[in-house]
Amino acid sequence: MNFKKLNRLRYDSPNSNSDPANGSDSKLPTRPQYKYENLSEGEYRLIIQAKTLLDETVYHAVFEYLNDQNLCNNTEGMFPRCDRMTGNYYVSEEYYRLSNDGVYGSIFIRFTEMFCLADSEPKEEDYLGLEVWFTIFQCGEVEICGIDSSSI
Protein backbone atom coordinates (compact mmCIF):
# COMPACT_ATOMS: atom_id res chain seq x y z
CA MET A 1 0.00 0.00 0.00
CA ASN A 2 1.36 3.37 -0.92
CA PHE A 3 0.15 6.42 0.92
CA LYS A 4 -1.22 9.17 -1.30
CA LYS A 5 -1.24 11.62 1.60
CA LEU A 6 -0.74 11.68 5.35
CA ASN A 7 -3.16 13.29 7.80
CA ARG A 8 -1.70 15.33 10.66
CA LEU A 9 -3.71 15.13 13.87
CA ARG A 10 -3.51 18.19 16.09
CA TYR A 11 -4.21 18.02 19.80
CA ASP A 12 -5.07 21.10 21.80
CA SER A 13 -4.85 19.75 25.34
CA PRO A 14 -2.21 21.71 27.25
CA ASN A 15 1.01 19.98 28.15
CA SER A 16 1.81 22.05 31.25
CA ASN A 17 3.82 19.28 32.94
CA SER A 18 6.01 18.66 29.86
CA ASP A 19 4.72 15.09 29.85
CA PRO A 20 5.32 12.93 26.80
CA ALA A 21 2.55 13.72 24.30
CA ASN A 22 1.65 10.11 23.52
CA GLY A 23 -1.78 8.77 24.26
CA SER A 24 -2.65 6.01 26.70
CA ASP A 25 -5.82 4.39 27.96
CA SER A 26 -6.36 7.14 30.50
CA LYS A 27 -5.05 10.14 28.63
CA LEU A 28 -5.41 11.59 25.14
CA PRO A 29 -2.35 12.96 23.36
CA THR A 30 -1.48 16.56 24.11
CA ARG A 31 0.28 19.39 22.32
CA PRO A 32 3.90 18.57 21.45
CA GLN A 33 6.59 18.87 24.06
CA TYR A 34 9.16 21.52 23.05
CA LYS A 35 12.80 21.39 24.15
CA TYR A 36 15.34 24.13 23.48
CA GLU A 37 19.03 23.95 24.33
CA ASN A 38 21.52 26.86 24.31
CA LEU A 39 19.62 29.06 21.85
CA SER A 40 19.93 32.81 21.56
CA GLU A 41 17.17 35.17 20.45
CA GLY A 42 18.59 34.97 16.91
CA GLU A 43 18.25 31.18 16.79
CA TYR A 44 14.67 31.36 18.10
CA ARG A 45 13.93 33.83 15.31
CA LEU A 46 15.56 31.48 12.78
CA ILE A 47 13.30 28.62 13.94
CA ILE A 48 10.18 30.78 13.68
CA GLN A 49 11.10 32.01 10.20
CA ALA A 50 11.90 28.50 8.94
CA LYS A 51 9.04 26.66 10.69
CA THR A 52 6.72 26.34 7.67
CA LEU A 53 9.57 25.12 5.46
CA LEU A 54 10.73 22.77 8.24
CA ASP A 55 7.26 21.22 8.61
CA GLU A 56 6.91 20.78 4.82
CA THR A 57 10.41 19.26 4.52
CA VAL A 58 9.77 16.84 7.40
CA TYR A 59 6.39 15.85 5.91
CA HIS A 60 7.98 15.04 2.55
CA ALA A 61 10.79 13.07 4.21
CA VAL A 62 8.41 10.84 6.19
CA PHE A 63 6.07 10.52 3.20
CA GLU A 64 8.99 9.19 1.12
CA TYR A 65 10.09 6.93 3.99
CA LEU A 66 6.64 5.33 4.32
CA ASN A 67 6.34 4.85 0.55
CA ASP A 68 9.78 3.21 0.23
CA GLN A 69 9.01 -0.50 -0.25
CA ASN A 70 12.41 -1.42 1.21
CA LEU A 71 11.57 0.32 4.50
CA CYS A 72 7.82 -0.12 4.83
CA ASN A 73 5.66 -2.75 3.13
CA ASN A 74 3.02 -5.41 3.86
CA THR A 75 5.31 -8.43 4.12
CA GLU A 76 4.63 -10.73 7.08
CA GLY A 77 7.20 -10.07 9.79
CA MET A 78 8.04 -6.62 8.40
CA PHE A 79 8.06 -3.56 10.63
CA PRO A 80 6.61 -1.14 9.93
CA ARG A 81 3.77 -2.55 7.87
CA CYS A 82 1.79 -0.11 5.72
CA ASP A 83 -1.37 -2.17 5.98
CA ARG A 84 -1.41 -1.68 9.78
CA MET A 85 -1.13 2.10 9.58
CA THR A 86 -4.02 4.57 9.28
CA GLY A 87 -2.04 7.34 7.57
CA ASN A 88 -2.71 9.56 10.61
CA TYR A 89 0.14 11.05 12.60
CA TYR A 90 0.88 13.64 15.24
CA VAL A 91 3.96 15.44 16.49
CA SER A 92 4.82 14.51 20.07
CA GLU A 93 8.14 16.34 20.55
CA GLU A 94 10.30 19.00 18.94
CA TYR A 95 13.92 19.48 20.00
CA TYR A 96 16.22 22.35 18.97
CA ARG A 97 19.83 23.15 19.88
CA LEU A 98 22.57 25.46 18.68
CA SER A 99 24.97 24.08 16.08
CA ASN A 100 27.88 25.51 14.10
CA ASP A 101 25.64 25.79 11.02
CA GLY A 102 22.54 27.25 12.70
CA VAL A 103 20.04 25.10 14.59
CA TYR A 104 20.13 21.31 14.79
CA GLY A 105 17.20 19.31 16.06
CA SER A 106 14.62 16.61 15.71
CA ILE A 107 10.89 16.22 15.43
CA PHE A 108 9.35 13.04 16.85
CA ILE A 109 6.29 11.91 14.90
CA ARG A 110 3.89 9.15 15.95
CA PHE A 111 1.88 7.25 13.35
CA THR A 112 -1.26 5.37 14.36
CA GLU A 113 -2.93 2.04 13.67
CA MET A 114 -6.42 0.74 14.33
CA PHE A 115 -5.91 -1.75 17.15
CA CYS A 116 -8.59 -4.20 18.17
CA LEU A 117 -8.68 -6.96 20.76
CA ALA A 118 -11.08 -9.82 20.14
CA ASP A 119 -13.71 -8.48 22.55
CA SER A 120 -13.42 -4.72 21.97
CA GLU A 121 -14.11 -1.99 19.45
CA PRO A 122 -11.24 -0.85 17.21
CA LYS A 123 -9.23 1.98 18.76
CA GLU A 124 -6.69 4.27 17.11
CA GLU A 125 -3.36 3.81 18.90
CA ASP A 126 0.30 4.66 18.40
CA TYR A 127 2.14 2.24 16.11
CA LEU A 128 5.29 3.75 14.64
CA GLY A 129 7.60 6.49 15.83
CA LEU A 130 9.82 8.38 13.42
CA GLU A 131 12.39 10.81 14.73
CA VAL A 132 13.43 13.14 11.94
CA TRP A 133 16.80 14.89 12.44
CA PHE A 134 17.41 18.19 10.66
CA THR A 135 19.52 21.32 10.40
CA ILE A 136 18.12 24.81 9.89
CA PHE A 137 20.97 26.75 8.34
CA GLN A 138 21.58 30.45 9.07
CA CYS A 139 20.35 31.25 5.54
CA GLY A 140 16.97 29.64 6.38
CA GLU A 141 17.41 26.46 4.34
CA VAL A 142 16.41 23.14 5.93
CA GLU A 143 18.19 19.83 5.45
CA ILE A 144 17.10 16.41 6.71
CA CYS A 145 20.04 14.63 8.36
CA GLY A 146 18.40 11.28 9.08
CA ILE A 147 15.33 9.36 10.21
CA ASP A 148 15.22 6.86 13.09
CA SER A 149 12.26 4.52 13.50
CA SER A 150 10.85 2.82 16.59
CA SER A 151 7.95 0.61 17.58
CA ILE A 152 5.69 2.40 20.07
**Can you give the pTM of this predicted structure?**
0.86
Nearest to 89 by CA among 98, 97, 80: 80
8-state DSSP, 139: T
* First-to-final CA distance of the chain: 21
Range of the domain at 126: 30-151
Look at residue 25 and tell me whether its pLDDT is greater than 50.
Answer: no
Question: Which band of pLDDT confidence, cut at 50, 70 and 90, is reported for residue 152?
Answer: confident
- Cβ contacts of 63 within 8 Å, gap of 6 or more: 3, 5, 6
Mean pLDDT, range 106-118, rounded to an integer: 88
Q: Is residue 66 part of a domain?
A: yes
Q: What is the DSSP string of 33-80?
A: EEEEES--HHHHHHHHHHHHHHHHHHHHHHHHHHT-TTTSB--TT-SS
119 in a domain, yes or no?
Answer: yes
Q: Which residue has the higher pLDDT, 95 or 113?
A: 95
In a domain, 95, yes or no: yes
Whether 24 maps to a domain, the answer reads: no
Q: Is residue 17 part of a domain?
A: no
Q: Is residue 115, in this structure, part of any structural domain at all?
A: yes
- How much is the mean pLDDT over the chain? 87
Q: Is 5 domain-assigned?
A: no
Q: What 3-state class would DSSP assign to 83?
A: helix
Q: How many domains does the chain have?
A: 1
Minimum mean pLDDT range among 7-21, 28-42, 68-82, 87-101: 7-21
Look at 2 and 69; give whichever has higher pLDDT: 69
What mean pLDDT is predicted for residues 32-47? 94
Task: Answer whether residue 57 is part of any domain.
Answer: yes
Q: Across-strand partners of 149? A: 130
Q: What is the pLDDT of residue 97?
A: 97
What confidence score (pLDDT) does residue 42 get?
94
